[in-house]
Amino acid sequence: MNELTIKQMRNLFTVIEVNVLLWLVVCGAVWTSSAEQKTKIVAVAGMVISALLQHWAYYNLYRKTKEK
């Protein structure tokens, strides 16, 4: 899977974007609920990790498209 088509890269980035949006929803839902503080921290940590991975994946996908 060394060579990805533009369509595959676009689909991967769409999945990454949806993942970040879902983590934002989970974080918002947990934060506004009466959940324990530890649960809120885990939700925020998941969102932060997701955002960092999204940035890293976008950078790699962007770089691959520029190489073509």
The per-residue pLDDT for range 8-63, each reduced to its tens digit, is 878 888 888 898 899 999 989 998 989 899 999 999 999 999 889 888 887 877 77
Query: How far is the C-alpha of 65 from the C-alpha of 59, rounded, in Å?
Result: 10
In a domain, 12, yes or no: yes
The runs of H, that is alpha helices, within the chain are 6-32, 37-67
pTM: 0.71
In a domain, 1, yes or no: no
Residue 40, domain extent: 6-67
Number of compact structural domains in the chain: 1
Query: Tell me: the pLDDT tens digits for 27-42?
Result: 899 989 898 999 999 9
Query: How far is the C-alpha of 40 from the C-alpha of 27, rounded, in Å?
Result: 7
In a domain, 33, yes or no: yes
In a domain, 24, yes or no: yes
In a domain, 63, yes or no: yes
58, 10 Cβ separation under 8 angstroms: no
